[in-house]
Structure 1
């Protein structure tokens, strides 16, 4: 799965760069794109909660995730990547992650397990941030990083359209892999410390 995500990321650069350059030409900043991604994540959550419209929800989720992919590219290509933008992006990404998973509340998934998945998801990101603040590289460590989590959510929603039962078992796999990732990252960071 991680090899597939890595290949997708490399290929996506070819698509993202022309779009990022076009946005730079019309003076759209990376921070603006970051905020648009956040707004789309709230719209996704509202659609999922109030309307339970999975198709529109999937479109909004994909657009929000796309904003997250393009904002960094715009920052890099415009030579405006900096600590403020990085902080803003990573902070709002956590809110988006919570919104994405919270969209499952209205679909009949167990609230306790959804809450656990939210906590585990945020912990995965926290472990990476803490590790990197200690000078330990965490990118690519663990089974399920943010890109994989978003893909799992998309697949989960698609499966829900076919069968709640199948999507529920897929949800459990998603949760288990996320817990394993927390353990992997914790061990990787702890064993790297003097």
Structure 2
């Protein structure tokens, strides 16, 4: 799965770079694009609440995720990567994750398990942030990173449209993989810190 995501990212850059260059010439700030991604995630949650239509949700997640990928590329093209931009991007990503997962309760998924999944998602990202503060590179560590989690949510939404039972199974699988990732990252950081002693 990780290799698949890596390939998709490389292919997406071929699409993102010309768009990023066009946006950079128009004067659009990377932080504005980051903010649009967050706003779209809020719209997604509201639309799911109002319509209970998973396919519309899939479309909005796709556009929001595209904004997430585009902001970094615009910053790179402009040479404007900054601590503020990185802070906003990381913070907004956590909010977006929450907005992407929470509406599953509107499709009668267990609110308790949805809360657990949100907590696991935030913990996975938190462990990466803390690890990198102590100088340990965490990207690529763990079976399911943010990109994979978003794809999993999209697949669950599509499955909801086709077969509710399958979507529930996929939901349980996502929780299990998230638990495994938390354990993997936790142990990786502990081992890294022990090696430095």
Q: TM-score, normalised by structure 2?
A: 0.97
Give the drift of 1:100: 0.2
Partner of 1:105: 105
Does structure 1 residue 171 correspond to structure 2 residue 166?
Answer: no
Alignment of 1:32-181 (within 5 A): 32-181=32-181
CA offsets, 1:132-155, max 9 Å, x none?
011000000000000000100111
Gaps of 5+ in 2: none
Give every structure 1 segment of 4 or more consecutive aligned residues whose post-TM-superposition deviation is greater than 2 Å.
none
Distance 1:181 1:160 in 2: 25
How many residues in Structure 1 have an aligned counterpart in Structure 2?
A: 194
Task: Please report the RMSD computed on the Cα atoms of aligned residues, expressed in angstroms.
Answer: 0.6
Gaps of 5+ in 1: none
Distance 2:167 2:9 in 1: 26
Give the drift of 1:54: 1.5
Give the drift of 1:10: 1.1
Give the drift of 1:57: 1.2
CA offsets, 1:66-100, max 9 Å, x none?
10000011111100001010001000100000000
CA offsets, 1:32-62, max 9 Å, x none?
0000000000000001112112222111111
